[in-house]
Amino acid sequence: MISLTSPIRTKAHDWPASFKLGSLCITTALLFLIEDIWVLISVFTLVMLTYALPGKVFFLNGLRQLRMLWPFILIVGIWHVWIGSFVDGGVIVVRLVSAVALANLVTMTTKLSDMIDVISVILRPLHALGLKPKVVEIAIALVIRLTPVLVSKGSQLSDAWRARSERAPSWRIILPFTILALDDTDHVADALKARGGLES
């Protein structure tokens, strides 16, 4: 597993995690209220400028973590070209990329432990209803940390396919990818059991 926090220090690294997560929620909600494509493009440009401020390495690292969006962008783009709704498709794509880029910016400048602490405080009142905050905390941590690992393994499978075939990777890589994911799940489950499981 890997951490998504950028080793390149920025001013945002020192901001409270609660402030960054709260700002992310508000900004994302506002994005979905904007219907003007040009306003959304302006917001996206501002987000990219924010990525560029800490320097080239931070900017490129941030863009690399956004590469996983391209299948969704492709599907949305093809569909809206098919139905002839170019502006609506552009609105959805720009809104999606902007929202994910902002969330990625937060994870790059915030320690996972700090985010988990904020979530723990928010979920604490629900403990009386039987919800175990520890389970939610671990689930969120696993999703954040394991998603880029699965994306990387998917890319490796695609590269292995290309090395052995002239055809482009197809749906046939889904089975080995699923097996890899299940294997990782077994390892994570064993690691959790060895550390006491999820009992609070």
Sequential DSSP letters for 151-196:
HHHHHHHHHHHHHH-SSPP-GGGHHHHHHHHHHHHHHHHHHHHHTT
Q: What is the pLDDT of residues 25-36, one digit of tens each?
A: 999 999 989 989
Cα 170 to the center of its chain, rounded Å: 24
Along the chain (200 residues), what's the average pLDDT of each consecutive run of 10 residues? 66 88 92 91 93 89 82 83 85 91 90 81 75 74 75 80 76 80 81 69
Q: What integer best gives the mean pLDDT of the chain?
A: 82
Residue 1's closest CA among 106, 149, 143? 149
> What's the pLDDT score for residue 4?
66
Q: State pTM to two decimals.
A: 0.69
> What's the pLDDT score for residue 2?
40
Give Cα separations from 102 to 97, 114, 118 (angstroms). Answer: 8, 17, 18
> What's the pLDDT score for residue 39?
93
Q: What is the pLDDT of residues 102-115, one digit of tens each?
A: 999 998 898 878 88
Residue 92's closest CA among 48, 28, 42, 37? 37
> What's the pLDDT score for residue 66?
84
